[in-house]
Amino acid sequence: MTSKRAVLWDLDGVLVDTMEVHFRAWVASMAHFGIDNYTREDFIRTFGMTNRAILPTFFPDATLEEIDAMSEYKEKAFRDLVPGNVHILPGAEAWLKQFKSWGLAQAIASSAPIENIDSLADAMHIRPYFNALVSAYELGSKPSPAVFLKAAEMVGVPPQECMVVEDAPAGIEAASRAGMTCLAVETSHAAALLGRATRVVKNLEHFSLEDARLLLELDGAVA
């Protein structure tokens, strides 16, 4: 079956467990930038946003060029830590395979720089599942819907026919603004913070075939 529907995946915390690696990269980078008291609370508060949105909250007087240089430093630190320290989250690859078998278009729509998206897609061997890889870095940080709208455009599916898979409040808000349904997983935030999602599950192993049919408005023929 081929469907005119699509699944748009966030990456960090949804497909791949990168939270601790990102935190370690931020701690090291902030120390390099002169901030020695960067906390896990700082990290959680900004998780899911682009670096161009995060860094000015710590460096309000920095120029865009300085922000981009700091961002590049942090993301290189992250990529250096990736080998051997990241893994696919429970249920993620099973659903990638299931959606592909149903003929649904799939895209990664992440706040991460495209270099990180490419690196993780290849390291986790999941690139073949996707019709597009889209970074929000030049489009505007979530909760702007820009990255989801761009991903929908790239896979040729109307926004109202897309389901977003997210783990962060900013991403859920972005999906809502894009007019898309949203499945949220409790990998990075408690369920109480994910209430604007269409459906919330502990992780993708707790997402059922019936859930998928309902959220994507698919009939039983795809099972």
- Complete DSSP assignment for 117-134: HHHHHHHTT-GGG-SEEE
The C-alpha atoms of residue 11 and residue 207 are separated, in whole angstroms, by 17
Tokens read off for 76: 């290189």
Residues in the chain: 223
Q: Any catalytic annotation for residue 219?
A: no
CA-closest candidate to residue 171, choices 138, 190, 152, 148: 148
The two three-digit tokens of residue 123, written as one number: 């390291």
CB 148 within 8 A of CB 180: yes
* H or E stretch at 199: strand 199-201
Query: Which residue in 12, 17, 42, 167 is the catalytic one?
Result: 12
Catalytic annotation, pick one of 10, 17, 42, 167: 10
Bridge partners (DSSP) listed for residue 165: 9, 183
Which strands form 199-201's sheet, in the order they lie side by side? 132-135, 105-110, 6-9, 162-166, 181-185, 199-201
Are 164 and 148 within 8 A, CB to CB? yes
Contact 126, 110 (CB under 8 A): no
Joined together, the tokens standing for residue 73 give 């430093």
- Decide if 12 is catalytic: yes
| Active site residue ranges | 10, 12
